[in-house]
Amino acid sequence: MMLNPGHLLRVISIGRILARHGFDEILFTLPLLKPLRFVRYLLPWNWTGRHYGPRGPRLRAVLEDLGPLFVKFGQLLSTRRDLLAEDVAEELAKLQDHVPPFPGAQARAIVERAYGKSVTEVFASFDETSLASASIAQVHVAQLHDGREVIVKVVRPGIRRVIERDIALMRFLADLAENYWARGRQLKPTLVVNEFEKTILDELDMLREAANASQLRRNFAASPRLYVPEVHWALSRPNLLVLERIDGISISNVAALRAANIDLSQLAASGVELFFTQVFRDHFFHADLHPGNLFVRPGVDGADPVFVVVDFGIMGSLSEFDQRYLAENFYAFLNRDYRRVAELHVESGWVPRDTRVDDFEFAIRTVCEPIFDRPVSDISVGQLLLRLFQTAQRFHMEILPQLLLLQKTLVSVEGIGRQLDPELDLWRTARPSLENWMKDRVGIRSLLRSTRENVPRWIDRLPELPGLAFDVLDRIKQGRIEVATHDEMLQEIRQEIRTVHRRLSHAVVGAALVLAAGFLYAVPTAAAGWWGPLPSGVWLLGGAGLVILLGAANGRRG
């Protein structure tokens, strides 16, 4: 990939920022500058030997100086704790997506352009002062003509162009890292950049976020403990999202929660249970849970408090397959059945089929036993999952994006829960959700539910069964039933047989031509011609036969 002039200017800017934070040695590892490494020691800021401090805070400062898109990238990197050193991951997790707002008049113009009419025709009022501002969009408060208050989330103008420019640059740097840095090939930065590109472009689509919010609202429509704001679909556009405005106490404001007479221990347990309900009941979960996106409404007349969530740009989902194996893994962990954990990883295909279960079991036990021997308040489920991922990587486990999102969100949920209740036992709180899921999906209840769901389809196809059965019996009788297999080793054997058969055919043809040449040689002829003393047919047939025989022999040796 080539850099255009715009990218080159951006690289120079990045170089200045790296040098300011003491990372200029990175620049001199690039192939182009490697022969000039001595120049680094001639640069004035390296003469005094000043101390820059730990690398984690410096790297966080670099990303903050590079701008909001790099901050977003750092936030994504912080979820890849299977790839990063612990001190770096901890610092990147502290990155805050606070960006200065763009002018309110510009936001109003974007709204009017989207609707093709004056903002006063759509809203009774529109506050040009932003309520919140982030790297992708900012939020304004508005009021509908019927008096209801809403928030209007407006995508930043020109943000797609900025994203495409910086993504191209990130991909260029990732390619350099993979080609010229020994650890780069192992970390696979191009895959991380691709994952980031998909995530950030998804966040640009407000209709996608609206669909996420609607789905989560529908999943918890009957829940008295979780509230999701209503989407105003008629007013939402690809670059505008209009949602019901909600109120509540920020989950991080512990003093206000206590003042509202909320039982913090019960609130923490309820929050954890709601998260596991999203994961195992609905296999669709909010994957960006942090204090800025989570609020609490105090209960009325002794009712339990209600959680309110916002910002639905990043959601996670699990397939039925991943869901089942994940639930069984958690359940095996709860019972310290490390053998079953190892078997589940192999059965699910998360690690290669030829992995030795005994070795994997021993590695998991080595990681988990020291953790389980600690007091409950010191056990971090998120950290346990991280250590498990790191252990599994030694056995060539390919970390799946949906599992990383789950691990990252679980760390956030656990952190929020421990802030409310330092003695929170996440295992005990999660156990009922896991056991209910296992009963519903694996036991007799699962069989009955599956039967009930499939009976209408079976009844619909029942009239076809006699005809299909007779058709199969006729095929068996006539010998026309074939068994197909996709076993890779069997396919290789078949290919080798075809190759040997082809070479054998060539050898037979070559030998036949040589024999024909010998026969012609034995027949007297008057014309030798310029071919020499032998008949021309002998030269042609014999030469062709030898070439074919040599080709077959060479192919056999290859």
Mind listing the pLDDT tens digit for each residue in 378-397? Answer: 666 666 776 777 777 777 77
Window from 29-33, 409-413, 448-452 with minimum mean pLDDT: 29-33
Phi, psi (deg, nearest 5) at residue 327: -60, -45
Per-range mean pLDDT, top range of 37-41, 239-243, 274-278, 540-544: 239-243
User: What angle is formed at CA 356 by the lines to CA 353 and CA 358, rounded to 5 degrees?
Assistant: 140
Residue of 288, 304, 322, 440 marked active site: 288
Instruction: Judge contact between 360 and 342, C-beta under 8 A.
Output: yes
* Per-residue pLDDT at 525 exceeds 50: no
- 3-state SS, residue 520: helix
pLDDT at site 484: 58
DSSP state letter for 303? P
Q: What's the pTM?
A: 0.69
Q: What is the pLDDT of residues 137-187, one digit of tens each?
A: 999 999 999 999 999 999 999 888 888 888 887 787 777 666 765 555 655
DSSP state of 237: B
Sorted by sequence, the CB contacts under 8 Å of residue 556 that are 6+ apart come out as: 503
Confidence of residue 558 (pLDDT cuts 50, 70, 90): very low
Catalytic (active site) residue 288: yes
Instruction: Please report, rounded to a whole number, the percentage of residues in the chain having pLDDT higher than 90.
Output: 19
Return the pLDDT at 59: 80
- What is the spatial distance between Cα 275 and Cα 430, in angstroms, rounded to a whole number? 9
Chain-centre distance of CA 187, in angstroms?
15
Per-residue pLDDT tens over the stretch 255-282: 999 999 898 989 998 998 898 888 888 8
Q: How far is CA 115 from CA 109, 124, 147, 237, 254, in A?
A: 10, 15, 20, 9, 41
Domain map (residue ranges) of the chain: 255-442, 453-478, 488-557
